[in-house]
Chain A
Amino acid sequence: MDFDDTPDEAAYRSRVRAALAEHADELVHLDAGEEAADPREQEQALRRTQRVLAEAGLVGVAWAAEHGGQGGSLAQQAIVGQELARARVPSLINHIGIGMCGPTVIAHGTPEQHERYLARLLRADDVWCQLFSEPASGSDLAALRTTAVRDGEDWVVNGQKVWTTLAHVSDFGILLARTDPDRPKHAGLTMFVLDMHAPGVTVRPLRQMGGQSDFNEVFLDDVRVPDAERLGEPGEGWRVALTTLLNERVAVGGGGNDLGLSIESLAGLAADRLPGLPAERQVLARQALGRAAVAALANRYTGYRRLTAISQGGLPGPEASAGKLAGTAAAKLVADAGVRLLGADAVFAAGPGDDGSLDGAGRWQRNQAWLPGIAIAGGTDEVLRNIIGERVLGLPPEPREDKHRAFNASGSAR
């Protein structure tokens, strides 16, 4: 057991660090206190950042060389992630493409699709999104209603997708649609690559509770998708989607990275704020800090166990769902402790108390308004608990009356 880099990993890390320093002028960097970059405002700069990183060999690290990747290990990919964070380079604009869409295209696409998409995806020449959830099917994804009907060499797609992160800057998406409503819901689905610039695709940003707009609704009206853009066989869409979701599990919370503000950020705020509190408040603030730190450390070290398993060749199993579940809970404790330290100053999202300092800029309040979304996106807390309960603990599922009935005849279609 150890937490150190192997000599190879250490050498790799210093190469990564050197590359990031060499190209620093060409990369977007987050300011102190800033948590994320807004793709809407910085789209071109973020695309350029990813292209520069790709040319330096720092994108698609664990992808096979035949797909434009570096053929490296997941441990190396984790090192790149750590070094990007250390250098305060924001998430890659195409993180959904790299984390979820690309692996799905690799696993289920044709050689022509590999050729057409993968290299451009890694360079952010094309940005990708994931068109899965719908207004009437979120957690129950397989109940989706968007249809694709065969017409000559094309499929004609109609329906609506929602919660589509990055759709507003995307060039392509992977689209899950119903192609056979007479079969049971999981059996009637097919996956496609959708050109987001095709006629009939309308993207409308949604505004989140915190005021930002990271995701969108996407309307699909008689959109023609060539059959050559199918991913996998007709009716195999659910199996293809499971590839995407498996990769999502690794991408979100699988490695124990902080899902909200880091415990180090909280420590900094506490060192600043806590000494100024009355003694009896200090006791409570210390307890909140201690509780949050313990939860965050438990999640961080559990992530190290998963990274170890992955680097030894294991696939992330359903137990990785626990990483997002526990990570969300820890992030909420951290945010809550931060807001408590701000005290009455936190009644303003930003405002009179804003002195432009690190923690006067509203980041704790913003984070607080962001976390309810984290508990929902990529598998709600409840869905994750079902996955763990059924697939790890072996508890029986709730009865699913629509599972074996033709979709058209089930309650889900109404």
Chain B
Amino acid sequence: MNFDLDTDQLDAAAGARRFFTGQAGPAQARAGLEGGPPAPGRQALADIGFLGITVAEDAGGAGGSVLDLAVVAEQAGAVLAGPSLVTAARAAVLLADQPELAAALADGSRSFCVVDGGHPALDAVGADTFLALVDGDLVVGDGDVATGQPMDATRGLGVVTLTGTRVLVPGAGDRWARARDVAVVALAAEDLGTAGKAVEVGVAYAKERQAFGRAIGSYQAVKHALVDAWVGVEQLRSLVWWAAWAADAAPEELPLAAAAAGAFAAETLERAAETCIQVHGGTGFTWEHDAHLYWRRAKVDRLLLGDTAEHQDVVAGLVLAGALS
């Protein structure tokens, strides 16, 4: 057994961390709420190769694994980056035998959005190419995007009305299901990064802030809340790695692993973000502080690609059907 990242993946994580911290962060996420553009933005992500990590090499991608992508997605989540690598991961699966469109995904010349019926779709704002499953077929086309006032502007959410679609792949139900599972894994990986960052910010403040003559992090009530959030992050990391690994190495385990990661990610990020606010006291409740930006991501992501209850029900169904035996 070797359940750890390899040297290349650790290097990729370090490189991604440098890129993302130089390109995005809470300030940009806050500016997004007042109309600013997503950061790093599609072209920057394409230029460094992150939109093509799982696109085949002959289509201009890196031909990497979902685990390679998850390692980068964690770093994207830590800085609340947009657009989401979830869209890239999902579109890459859907476009596996469409080299021209896959190349346009990887090089950023097209801006993709994957649509689940009438649900608000991730990265719909500014998208020019929409993918959807209609009557069991994978279709591609244009779309009209209706947006509201976003909870988390980095997600580019909008309700899409498809226009002028054509069938790309008939009978694509299985592929669609796999793409959705991969998307859930990528979302959990981004949430892992966000949750880890929220805990880090909370811990740093708990070491500095004094109350009743000592650092608040010395009080067990504060310490234990942060520890529970941290333990959640470490457990989530294990599920994300397992699910991402399974996507390529053990596809039969992917539905269970993805649903487990999705269910755990939503709750872990919520707890981390809420703990971060609570530890900061009144400061954590202000617009100027970063805590609400992690919290916004938590409250939005928990509703994307299935909520915790839906994922738990998928896990239950698979376990009942003998997935563990």
A392 to B313, CA, bound (A): 34
Establish whether residues B260 and A308, one from each chain, have CB atoms under 8 Å apart when the complex forms.
no
Which of A297, A386, A397 counts the most chain B CB atoms within 10 A? A297
Q: Across the A-B interface, how many residue pairs have beta carbons closer than 8 Å?
A: 164
B6 sits at the interface (CB 8 A): yes
Q: Which residues of B sit under 8 angstroms from A293, Cβ to Cβ?
A: 260, 315-316, 319, 324
Establish whether residues B312 and A393, one from each chain, have CB atoms under 8 Å apart when the complex forms.
no
A3 to B214, CA, bound (A): 46
Establish whether residues B223 and A385, one from each chain, have CB atoms under 8 Å apart when the complex forms.
yes
A395 sits at the interface (CB 8 A): yes
**B299 to nearest A CB, angstroms?**
20
Establish whether residues A301 and B217, one from each chain, have CB atoms under 8 Å apart when the complex forms.
no
Interface membership of chain B positions 250-273, coded 1 if the CB is closer than 8 angstroms to chain A and 0 otherwise: 000000110010011000000000
8 A Cβ contacts from B211-229 to A: 214-215, 217-220, 223-224, 226-228
Establish whether residues A267 and B5, one from each chain, have CB atoms under 8 Å apart when the complex forms.
no
A266 to B315, CA, bound (A): 13
**B64 to nearest A CB, angstroms?**
13
A305-B4 in contact given A298-B235, A325-B231 (Cβ < 8 Å): yes
8 A Cβ contacts from A1-41 to B: 1-5, 9
A399-B218 in contact given A1-B4, A305-B238, A307-B1 (Cβ < 8 Å): yes
**A3 to nearest B CB, angstroms?**
5
Nearest residue in B to A256 (C-beta to C-beta)? B238
Establish whether residues B2 and A322, one from each chain, have CB atoms under 8 Å apart when the complex forms.
no
Nearest residue in A to B236 (C-beta to C-beta)? A298
Task: Point out the residue from A271, A298, A386 that lies within 8 Å of B264, measured CB to CB.
Answer: A298
A411 sits at the interface (CB 8 A): no
A350 sits at the interface (CB 8 A): no
Nearest residue in A to B67 (C-beta to C-beta)? A1
Task: Point out the residue from B207, B218, B224 that lies within 8 Å of A382, measured CB to CB.
Answer: B224
Q: Which of B98-106, B125-133, B239-247 lies on the face that meets chain A?
A: B239-247
A287-B215 in contact given A263-B324, A301-B242 (Cβ < 8 Å): no
Q: Which residues of B sit under 8 angstroms from A142, Cβ to Cβ?
A: none
A299 to B239, CA, bound (A): 9
Which of B1, B207, B315 counts the most chain A CB atoms within 10 A? B1
A263 to B320, CA, bound (A): 11
Q: Which residues of B sit under 8 angstroms from A263, Cβ to Cβ?
A: 319, 324
A309 to B5, CA, bound (A): 11
**A390 to nearest B CB, angstroms?**
8
A75 sits at the interface (CB 8 A): yes
A392 to B230, CA, bound (A): 10
Establish whether residues A302 and B238, one from each chain, have CB atoms under 8 Å apart when the complex forms.
yes
Establish whether residues A286 and B241, one from each chain, have CB atoms under 8 Å apart when the complex forms.
no
A319 sits at the interface (CB 8 A): yes
A274 sits at the interface (CB 8 A): yes
Q: Which residues of A sit under 8 angstroms from B6, Cβ to Cβ?
A: 1
**A376 to nearest B CB, angstroms?**
16
Establish whether residues B218 and A397, one from each chain, have CB atoms under 8 Å apart when the complex forms.
yes
Q: How many residues of B contact A (CB 8 A)?
A: 51
Nearest residue in A to B218 (C-beta to C-beta)? A396
A394 sits at the interface (CB 8 A): yes
Establish whether residues A389 and B223, one from each chain, have CB atoms under 8 Å apart when the complex forms.
yes
A289 sits at the interface (CB 8 A): yes
B3 sits at the interface (CB 8 A): yes
Establish whether residues A388 and B312, one from each chain, have CB atoms under 8 Å apart when the complex forms.
no
Q: Which residues of A sit under 8 angstroms from B3, Cβ to Cβ?
A: 1, 3, 301, 304-305, 307-308
A389-B224 in contact given A290-B314, A301-B241, A396-B214 (Cβ < 8 Å): yes
Task: Point out the residue from A271, A287, A398 that lies within 8 Å of B312, measured CB to CB.
Answer: A287
B311 sits at the interface (CB 8 A): yes
A291 sits at the interface (CB 8 A): yes
Nearest residue in B to A264 (C-beta to C-beta)? B324
Establish whether residues A2 and B2, one from each chain, have CB atoms under 8 Å apart when the complex forms.
yes
A326 sits at the interface (CB 8 A): yes
**A190 to nearest B CB, angstroms?**
31
Establish whether residues B260 and A395, one from each chain, have CB atoms under 8 Å apart when the complex forms.
no
A388-B217 in contact given A264-B325, A287-B312, A307-B1 (Cβ < 8 Å): no
Nearest residue in B to A311 (C-beta to C-beta)? B1
Which of B214, B236, B238 counts the most chain A CB atoms within 10 A? B238
A294 sits at the interface (CB 8 A): yes
Task: Point out the residue from B2, B67, B217 that lies within 8 Å of A396, measured CB to CB.
Answer: B217
**B205 to nearest A CB, angstroms?**
11
**B210 to nearest A CB, angstroms?**
11
Establish whether residues B315 and A290, one from each chain, have CB atoms under 8 Å apart when the complex forms.
yes
Nearest residue in B to A4 (C-beta to C-beta)? B1
**B311 to nearest A CB, angstroms?**
7
Establish whether residues B1 and A308, one from each chain, have CB atoms under 8 Å apart when the complex forms.
yes
**B228 to nearest A CB, angstroms?**
7
Q: Which residues of B sit under 8 angstroms from A398, Cβ to Cβ?
A: 218-220
B47 sits at the interface (CB 8 A): no
A406 to B82, CA, bound (A): 59
A319 to B238, CA, bound (A): 14
Interface membership of chain A positions 145-187, coded 1 if the CB is closer than 8 angstroms to chain B and 0 otherwise: 0000000000000000000000000000000000000000000
Interface membership of chain A positions 45-83, coded 1 if the CB is closer than 8 angstroms to chain B and 0 otherwise: 000000000000000000000000000000100000000
**12 A-B residue pairs with CB within 8 Å:** A2-B2, A2-B249, A290-B315, A301-B239, A304-B1, A304-B238, A389-B226, A395-B203, A395-B215, A396-B207, A397-B218, A398-B220
Interface residues of B (CB under 8 A from A): 1-6, 67, 203, 206-207, 214-215, 217-220, 223-224, 226-228, 230-231, 234-239, 241-242, 245, 249, 256-257, 260, 263-264, 309, 311-317, 319-320, 322, 324-325
Interface residues of A (CB under 8 A from B): 1-5, 9, 75, 263-264, 266-267, 270-271, 274, 286-287, 289-291, 293-295, 297-299, 301-302, 304-305, 307-309, 311-312, 319, 322, 325-326, 382, 385-386, 388-390, 392-399
5 additional A-B pairs beyond A1-B5, A304-B3, A398-B220, beta carbons within 8 Å, are A302-B235, A305-B238, A385-B220, A393-B223, A398-B219
